[in-house]
């Protein structure tokens, strides 16, 4: 049995495998959907990026106006026992980044690689792993910020597209929702809370986070929300004090920012009694513990789904046959052997050893002659039309014999009539040949008993013939 600390790491590996295989959500229940995850949801300018950076203890996310996050970012945090902090992307697994400014640039570049320089979004996730002694074992999925209007350069559908993408993550029954809202705005208008209430009306899967507590109007506070008296959830609300824009501009160290955050809550007359349950460090531990607990609860269903997937793949592999060796010569021999077998079966169809060639003969013996008999040669080559064509070909002076140009016109006109029946015959033969290729592939199953895991495709065989 895996230890509690390794459970998140185990799910991380399965999640990375799902991404490599192209399984990151969609129609039907997939392994990705069965894995518990923490989806980070918030409106633009809610402080979402700052919360994530506070949890990590590093500046690493792109910043700017408009929609900055345009692809889901699967952020996997791995706690280490000392050593140098580094980051690693799934699309560049052997490249360890110790300068987090490069991490930010790589996120931007990888986003542009899929979406181009447009301001559109994509549901293909970016996988980022961060190894550090300053984090807890935790996996977060950063999603594009909810917005109400499209800005210049964005399609009009961007508002709905973002909501649909976010909704596809938070609707999953195994999804833990981290709903981030700024405290200096009316919580009743929070996009994150509104969406969370729709997909999780009981609040069992939702953790509420209030940011910008230090920016509230003087004489006001968020005690009712943080104490659970207003907008009650099953889990406690957590207050966060992010770095100010001035601190960000001055590159204030994130560890120092965490210390300032702790001091703020400890000295606050409004929130001092809640200080031990506030701040980004507490939030990270809370989420980590809850994620581990949810994973432990879901282990039976995850194992069942993995076993079903394995059984389905094994059944498919049994149908294809056992794998061939890695030796290049053996592989080449197998390919040639299969091609020879296919060629023999296909030739038997054409030569009459099996049904097929007779149909091609029928096209030329029946279909084409019948079509030719319907051509209007009696009208085109009638005496009246021949006389008319030859007369027109005389031009301004008479010829001693029938002019060559007249004959050419009659022949060209006659040949034009052949085009339709000829093309129809070619199409009919092409259709028959494609059917024979597929039939020959199905009949070339004798190779399966020779233990080869290699299949011919209709396209490859059509191209070879």
- The proportion of the chain whose per-residue pLDDT surpasses 90, expressed as a percent, equals 29
Q: What are the backbone angles phi and psi of residue 442, rounded to the nearest 5°?
A: -60, -35
Domains and CATH numbers, the chain: 4-316 (3.40.50.300), 328-464 (no CATH)
pLDDT score, position 153: 63
Query: Per-residue confidence at 173, pLDDT binned at 50, 70, 90?
Result: confident
Average pLDDT taken over every residue of the chain? 83
Least confident range from 23-37, 170-184, 264-278, 365-379: namely: 23-37
So what's the pLDDT on residue 182? 93
Given a cut of 80, is residue 282 above it in pLDDT? yes
pLDDT of 455 over the 70 cut: no
Q: Taking the complete model, does pTM exceed 0.85, yes or no?
A: no
Integer Cα distance of 338 and 341 in angstroms: 5
If phi > 0 it is left, if psi is from -120 to 50 it is alpha, else beta; for residue 138 that is beta
- Residues 6 or more apart whose CB falls under 8 angstroms from that of 261 comprise 54, 240, 241, 279, 280
Residue 325 has pLDDT above 90, yes or no: no
pLDDT digits (tens, 9 = 90+) for 81-93: 888 899 999 888 8
Lookup: tokens for 25: 């959500």
Alpha carbon of residue 236 to chain centroid: 34
- For 106-120, the pLDDT digits (tens) are 998 998 888 876 677
CB-CB contact of 71 with 122 (8 Å):
yes
User: What is the average pLDDT across 376-393?
Assistant: 78
Q: How confident is the model at residue 421 (pLDDT cuts 50, 70, 90)?
A: confident
pLDDT above 70 for 247: yes
Residue (of 419, 417, 424, 413) closest to 375 by Cα position: 417
pLDDT digits (tens, 9 = 90+) for 259-268: 899 999 999 9
N- to C-terminal Cα separation, the chain: 56
What is the spatial distance between Cα 374 and Cα 420, in angstroms, rounded to a whole number?
Answer: 11
């Amino acid at each position: 049995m895996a230890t509690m600390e390794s459970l998140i790491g185990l799910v991380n590996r399965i999640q990375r495998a799902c991404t490599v295989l192209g399984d990151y959500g969609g129609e039907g229940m997939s392994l990705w959907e069965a894995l518990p995850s923490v989806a980070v949801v918030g409106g633009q300018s809610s402080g979402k990026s700052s919360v994530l950076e506070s949890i990590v203890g590093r500046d690493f996310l792109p910043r700017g106006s408009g929609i900055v996050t345009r692809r889901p970012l699967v952020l996997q945090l791995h706690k280490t026992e000392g050593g140098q902090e580094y980051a690693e992307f799934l699309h560049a697994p052997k490249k360890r980044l110790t300068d987090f400014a490069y991490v930010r640039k790589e996120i931007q570049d990888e986003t542009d690689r899929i979406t181009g320089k447009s301001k559109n979004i994509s549901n293909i996730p970016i996988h980022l792993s961060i190894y550090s002694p300053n984090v807890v074992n935790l996996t977060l999925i950063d999603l594009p910020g909810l917005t109400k209007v499209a800005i210049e350069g964005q399609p009009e559908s961007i508002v709905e597209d973002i909501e649909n993408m976010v909704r596809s993550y938070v609707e999953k029954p195994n999804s833990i929702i981290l709903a981030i809202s700024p405290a200096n705005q009316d919580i009743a208008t929070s996009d994150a809370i509104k969406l969370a209430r729709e997909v999780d009306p009981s609040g069992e899967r939702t953790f509420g986070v209030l940011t910008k507590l230090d920016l509230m109007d003087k004489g006001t506070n968020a005690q009712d929300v943080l104490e659970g008296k207003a907008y009650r959830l099953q889990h406690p609300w957590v207050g966060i004090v992010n770095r100010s824009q001035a601190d960000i501009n001055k590159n204030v160290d994130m560890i120092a920012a965490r210390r300032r955050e702790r001091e703020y809550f400890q000295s606050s007359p409004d929130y001092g009694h809640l200080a031990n349950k506030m701040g980004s460090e507490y939030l990270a531990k809370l989420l980590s513990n809850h994620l581990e607990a949810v994973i432990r609860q879901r282990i039976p269903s995850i194992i069942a789904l993995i076993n079903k997937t394995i059984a389905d793949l094994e059944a498919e592999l049994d149908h294809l046959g056992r794998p061939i060796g890695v030796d290049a010569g053996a592989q080449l021999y197998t390919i040639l052997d299969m091609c020879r077998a296919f060629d023999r079966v296909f030739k038997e169809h054409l030569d009459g050893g099996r049904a097929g060639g007779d149909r091609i003969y029928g096209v030329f013996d029946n279909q084409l002659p019948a079509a030719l008999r319907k051509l209007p040669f009696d009208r085109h080559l009638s005496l009246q039309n021949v006389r008319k064509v030859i007369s027109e070909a005389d031009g301004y002076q008479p010829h001693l014999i029938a002019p060559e140009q007249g004959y050419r016109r009659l022949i060209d006109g006659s040949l034009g009539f052949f085009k339709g029946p000829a093309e129809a015959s070619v199409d009919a033969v092409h259709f028959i040949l494609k059917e024979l290729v597929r039939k020959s592939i199905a009949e070339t199953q004798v190779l399966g008993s020779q233990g080869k895991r290699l299949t011919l495709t209709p396209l490859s065989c059509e191209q070879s013939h």
